[in-house]
Amino acid sequence: MRRPARTGMVTLCDRDLGDFGFSVARAPNLLGNVSQSHQTSALAGLAGQLPISREAVMDATSIPIEVSYCGDTQAELVTALDTLAHWCSLGPLVLSSSYDWTKVALVSFGGLALGIPGKQFREPTLQGTLNFLRRNPYTYDRYPRRVSTNGAGAANRVELETGTAASHAIVWLEDATVATITQRDASGVIVRQSTLTTVQTAADALLIDSARSRLIAYVAGIRSEVPRDLTLGHGFLRLEPRWAHREAQRWQTLETSSGRLTIDYVRGWLR
């Protein structure tokens, strides 16, 4: 009888790798540190190599997970590989591990290198690695965080506890008329301030999607994009770790001059 796979080590989109029948033996590069490089070009004369781009290029990091699989038949092994490949082909993978279940990394399936070790006397066994590619240097909270203001003004200012990497936020604005949204650093200094010309009733809401730089209005439940409602200012909200004081547990804040805010955000962590 086939031995049960060892579970509780690695999950892919919240599905345990052991569900596919694979037991994790070792994951030496699970954090997957991502290296950076800058594009350069050789110029004639004494200049030598000069950078031609200020933006760093993220080099994909390979995350090999050493696994084994014990099956009753060869056909069972093929079925397990097909099931795993199908699950990984559905889209970007969210990888998490027993290292820290509260955080996830974004990876893609980079193929496998499995073989049959030695002679097979009973159930067939495969051993080798499942390879994943990580192009994003950050990990993220598994679940979003939510904070809300009770109204307008400085008295209803809310703190946004951030991670060690920049994060984006989804902001809902309700019951507002020409609202100015102000973001301050941990010392109270304004770092972003933008005005929205919306006028809302009790049945209306405005979604400020900073990750996609979009404004979406819901007027009596009817959805429409309203890019012109955002007047000149500092633009969309971006949660920068430099605006927090992590050692003192003091965080950047958000407030509105009209209406109330509900903020959903996922913290980013540099690994």
145-270 in CATH: which number? 2.60.120.860
pLDDT at 3 over 70: no
- Residue 56 has what pLDDT? 66
The residues pairing with 193 across neighbouring beta strands, listed in sequence order, are 182
Query: CA torsion sign, 17 to 19 to 20 to 25?
Result: positive
Buried b (16+ CB within 10 A) or exposed e, 171-182: bbbbbbeebbbb
Distance CA 208, CA 198 (A): 12
Tokens matching residue 64: 């090999």
As a whole number of angstroms, the distance between CA 191 and CA 183 comes to 6
Question: Tokens 């409602």 belong to which residue?
Answer: 229
State the pTM of this model. Answer: 0.76
Residue with tokens 């951030």: 162
Banded pLDDT at 148 (limits 50, 70, 90): very high
pLDDT at 7 over 80: yes
Residue 138 has pLDDT above 90, yes or no: no
Instruction: Map out the domains of the chain as residue ranges.
Output: 10-137, 145-270
Contact (CB, 8 A) for 215 and 147: no
CATH class of 10-137: mainly beta
232-to-126, 180, 188, 217, 236 alpha-carbon distances in Å = 61, 11, 22, 18, 11
